Amino acid sequence: MKRRRASLLLGHALLAPMAALAVLGACSTQPGSAAPVQQGGVATQMTGADQYLVSCARCHGEDRLGKTDAPKLDAVRMGSLGDGPLRMVIQYGKGRMPAFGGLTPAQVDRLVEFLRAG
């Protein structure tokens, strides 16, 4: 009986981290690195627009109008956040939005610049 209880507890202990990974990965494509992007045969750094398409568009839409549970990222929403809070949300997540801690500071800067321009 003790052995069965221990195996059930172990099974539940393994399911929780797997479920958390599934939830966190559902809305993101984490970029693996700050690798340059190939454009016209010349390697260049990703622009803020490129970074948005890779990291954000899956949930917020290519047009930034939002999808399902992800809000639109229009001028009103962007104007309501200072640069610091916006960087914090991108890097550490908030609510249902996962963290994008794998982004370099330069990538976050370009992404914030793109979101502000838009």
Question: What is the per-residue DSSP string for 44-92?
Answer: EPPPHHHHHHHHTHHHH-TTSS-BTTBPP--HHHHHTS-HHHHHHHHHH
C-alpha to C-alpha distance for 27 and 66, rounded to whole angstroms: 12
What is the arithmetic mean of pLDDT over 91-113?
Answer: 92
Q: Mean of the per-residue pLDDT values for the chain?
A: 75
pLDDT at 63: 93
What's the pTM?
Answer: 0.62
C-alpha to C-alpha distance for 118 and 73, rounded to whole angstroms: 9
The residue ranking higher by pLDDT, 39 or 46, is 46
Task: Please determine, for residue 46, whether its predicted confidence score (pLDDT) is greater than 50.
Answer: yes
- Both structure tokens of 86: 């916006």
For 54-68, the pLDDT digits (tens) are 999 999 999 999 987
Domain ranges of the chain: 46-117
Task: Please determine, for residue 21, whether its predicted confidence score (pLDDT) is greater than 80.
Answer: no
According to CATH, the topology of domain 46-117 is Cytochrome Bc1 Complex; Chain D, domain 2 (1.10.760)
Binning pLDDT at 50, 70 and 90, where does residue 4 land?
low
C-alpha to C-alpha distance for 108 and 91, rounded to whole angstroms: 8
pLDDT at 115: 94
C-alpha to C-alpha distance for 5 and 1, rounded to whole angstroms: 6
